[in-house]
Amino acid sequence: MKDNLHRHKREELLLILNNFPGQAYSIAAQFIASCPGNTSEIAVKLFPSITVTNTGYPTVSGSTLELSVSNATLPAGVTNVYAAYVSILGPVFANVTYADGCIQTVVPDGVNGQTYMLLTSSTDGISDDNTLAGPVILEVGSK
């Protein structure tokens, strides 16, 4: 059972690394303290980080998350922002609102387990091209 869980997590990680290099690098970057001086820069976009400021673990579907985003500005022409909750079942999108000076989103029903949440400008799918910030790793429990 434990071997199957580790294999499943490896497959999930490889899917992210192969299809979303900027998002994968954005997760890994928070763990990188330094690189050797002769290392060339990685040609992958580093997205602004997301911090959930109002919740403990596990996060529960249906709850409102308050988000802080580091160094984020909306690209020209972007008017809509969505939260994409990505798990092994694929992305589920939710609206993002701005209230009392903070970014908020509600965890959609049906989202459960380890989930990667990112901010995107589209609900047509996720890519490095429409990612605005994140991802942040969430553990989402049942109600």
Say what the pLDDT of residue 94 is: 96
Say what the pLDDT of residue 88 is: 79
Say what the pLDDT of residue 68 is: 87
Question: Are 28 and 13 contacting, i.e. CB atoms less than 8 angstroms apart?
Answer: no
* Rounded mean pLDDT, 33-52: 74
pLDDT value at 58 more than 80: no
Q: Which CATH number fits domain 2-141: 2.60.40.10, 3.20.20.70, 3.30.830.10, 3.30.70.580?
A: 2.60.40.10
Every domain of the chain and the residues it spans:
2-141
* Rounded mean pLDDT, 3-19: 53
* Rounded mean pLDDT, 67-79: 78
3-state SS of the chain is CHHHHHHHHHHHHHHHHHHCHHHHHHHHHCCCCCCCCCCCCCCCCCCCCEEECCCCCCEECCCEEEEEECCCCCCCCCCCCEEEEEECCEEEEEEEEEECCEEEEECCCCCCEEEEEEEECCCCCCCCCCEEEEEEEEEEECC
